[in-house]
Amino acid sequence: MARRDFAVRDIVEVYMHWQAGRSMRAIARSLGLDRNTVRRYIRAAKEAGYTPAEERSSQEWAQFVRRRFPKAADHRLRCQSFAWIEPYRERIEKGLETNTVSTVWQRLRDEAGLAVSLSTFRRYLRAALPGARSSRDVVVWRPEVAPGEEAQVDFGRLGMWRDPVTGKRRLAWAFILVLVFSRHMFVRVVFRLDSRTWLTCHVLGLTFFGGVPRRIVLDNLADGVLRPDIYDPLFNRAYAELACHYGFLIDPARKGHSQDKPRVERVVPYVRDSFWRGRDFSSEEEANREAQRWCLEVAGRRIHGTTGQRPLELYAREERAGLLPLPAEPWEMREWTTAKVAPDAHCHVAKGFYSVPWGLIGHRLEACVTEKTVQFFQGEQIVKTHPRVPPGRKQTDFADLPADRVAFFLRTPQWCRKQAGQLGTHVLETVTEVLSVNTLYNLRQAQGILRLEEKYGPERLDAACRRALAYGDPRYRTVKNILENDLDGKPVDAPRDGGRAVGAFLHGQQQFAPSAAAEGE
């Protein structure tokens, strides 16, 4: 029978057993080898001067095997691709001191023309250089935490769900919040991954647990973390306020490092398989009722593979008391957004339009939207607060707009009558008569009459209104022409009969002198 060559690691195992003081018979039986094969390798070690009493590491034995049994060392290069990589061994070892595996492979591919895939390159490293790996490839063990210390949160894809009402297929997601110590979890089925859903699920999850963990680890989701920086993360403002309200610390995972929150990552497939697949739900409400029941009766009562205990029992026995208490006041749902101030000094927020001081036109403001109010911030300063209006409606505070642009809207019929009463009885009577018919249409006339006081004073305006009333024509243009022609100080020479003698007070008597003379002739 032909003698076969063994891989380096197989021969190293023989030497590790021999070093432990085991007999050749015991080694052969444990490793499933022929005793002659074991004897051959041990004889080679003795010939090299090694004895079982001299304790050596597996790496030291591997170096000896590669020198003494070159065919065994070549056994790991049994595919042609490995043979192509082998000439670059020293360059690979040096490159891995400072760079990742993928970077070393990419540089060999681009600079040396190495035509192997990354997966083949990784297999070569596992076979030929098991100890030469980048520190970035190491998964760091996360120590267990104290009860109530940490929770981990994530969205996990469940699958498609057909709405029985509309008949449409919708993609369903699971919001999962896991208490790290007990592994007790909260699951909620959602169909939107927006900020409101994110905040609502947190509130429901903390209420479900009846307490608050001191720290929540999450992905760098836009709804939670706006800037993924491990040293200085910028949190979504609404989520930061939620954390402040409940008293927990936001601890974002590093960008692209899902292993920073393995407790929740590992249960996503379990939730999808045990709770979701193969089941039909008539509505979103029913799906969430079943999700809560499943958390308590199925997931909560299973024997967890790591802790060896039932999560619900471990939670009730140890972790429940370690959670922070829920705040006395309920959380008021809010959303933060940004809006640019339009040329009309309004911002479009939550499908409504709200005014802000006109000096901010062109600026971008932050807006906090609650169920009842909308607040606008410039930095940390509140610049405007409005009651919330239905979609499509406009909420305007005229004090936010330039006075000359909103005079018409501010000087209402009631305001005009009040101002007219202060200027004189005839002014009040004139304005009242102007507004008695088609009030809004004639509002500008009333405002114009009152504005004449700025140029001519209240006494002359009242006299002009008295003359206009006497001739039965209390219009803006009539009053204005009386004042411009200085007719307000002359006696009224025509009885007030309700008719109109326009020429007598619009153009002055001199306009009628030629006609009167002609008639006399």
pTM above 0.75, yes or no: no
Q: How far, rounded to the nearest angstrom, does the alpha carbon of residue 185 sit from its chain's CA centroid? A: 23
Return the SS3 of 203. Answer: helix
CA distances from residue 84 to 93, 101, 113 in whole angstroms, order as listed: 16, 17, 11
35 vs 514 pLDDT, higher one: 35
Per-residue pLDDT band at 35 (split at 50, 70, 90): confident
| Angle of helix 8-19 versus helix 24-31 axis, rounded to 10 | 140
The whole-number pLDDT of residue 226 equals 46
Answer yes or no: is pLDDT of 163 > 60. Answer: yes
Query: Average of pLDDT values for 382-398?
Result: 89
Q: Where in the chain is the domain with CATH 3.30.420.10?
A: 150-322
Answer yes or no: is pLDDT of 518 > 60. Answer: no
What is the per-residue pLDDT across 216-250, written as a single tens digit (0 to 9) for each?
988 755 555 444 443 344 457 788 889 889 999 88
The pairing of beta strand 225-227 with beta strand 334-340? unpaired
Answer yes or no: is pLDDT of 2 > 50. Answer: no
506-509's contacts with Cβ under 8 Å and 24+ in sequence apart are 506/478, 506/481, 506/482, 507/481
Class (C level, CATH) for 150-322 = alpha beta
Sorted by sequence, the CB contacts under 8 Å of residue 169 that are 6+ apart come out as: 160, 161, 162, 163
* One-character DSSP codes across 370-389: ESSEEEEEETTEEEEEEE--
Query: Average of pLDDT values for 353-381?
Result: 89
Nearest of 181, 247, 250 to residue 218 by alpha carbon: 250
For the ranges 48-62, 130-144, 381-395, the one whose mean pLDDT is highest:
381-395
Alpha helices in 32-79 (DSSP H): 35-47, 58-68, 70-74
The whole-number pLDDT of residue 494 equals 55
Instruction: Tell me how far apart the alpha carbons of residues 223 and 242 are, in angstroms, rounded to a whole number.
Output: 12
Query: 229: which 2 tokens?
Result: 């920086």
Alpha helices in 118-194 (DSSP H): 118-128
What is the per-residue pLDDT across 7-23, written as a single tens digit (0 to 9) for each?
677 788 888 888 888 88
CB 224 within 8 A of CB 235: yes
CA distances from residue 401 to 52, 346, 415 in whole angstroms, order as listed: 94, 10, 19
Look up residue 416 and give its amino acid.
C
What is the per-residue pLDDT across 195-207, written as a single tens digit (0 to 9) for each?
888 889 999 999 9
The terminus-to-terminus CA distance of the chain in angstroms comes to 157
Residue for token pair 């409400």: 285
- HSE, side-chain direction, 13 A CA sphere, residue 149: 7
Instruction: For 148-298, list the strands marked E by DSSP.
Output: 150-162, 169-179, 185-190, 215-218, 225-227, 234-235, 249-252
- Across 446-472, b (16+ Cβ under 10 Å) vs e yields bbebbebbeebeeebbbbbbbbbbbbb
What is the per-residue pLDDT across 411-439, written as a single tens digit (0 to 9) for each?
677 878 888 888 888 888 888 888 887 77
Instruction: Tell me how far apart the alpha carbons of residues 483 and 486 are, in angstroms, rounded to a whole number.
Output: 5
What is the per-residue pLDDT across 283-327, written as a single tens digit (0 to 9) for each?
999 999 999 999 999 999 988 888 889 999 999 999 999 999 999
